[in-house]
Amino acid sequence: MAEQRLSDFSARLPDGRAVPLAEKAGKVVLIVNTASQCGFTPQYAGLEKLWQDYGGRGFEVMAFPVTSSVVRNPAARRISRSSVR
């Protein structure tokens, strides 16, 4: 099996657009699996703070919902829009 890198993949935004992760080259990217339907959302404040503190230096947070349907995870939709740039 050939070695795969983050840049070989793309992420789908809530609006359906694909973002090639090759655009993230040279940045530090934290990829997290999020959950809002279960009520476990305290991590959002910390993720937002990380991005605010270090985003200007090339740090990005990419939040993906636990389920395959972003529609059922409104909090992940908000974070994804603000952090996938």
Active site residues: 38
How far is C-alpha 47 from the geometric centre of its chain's CA atoms? 10
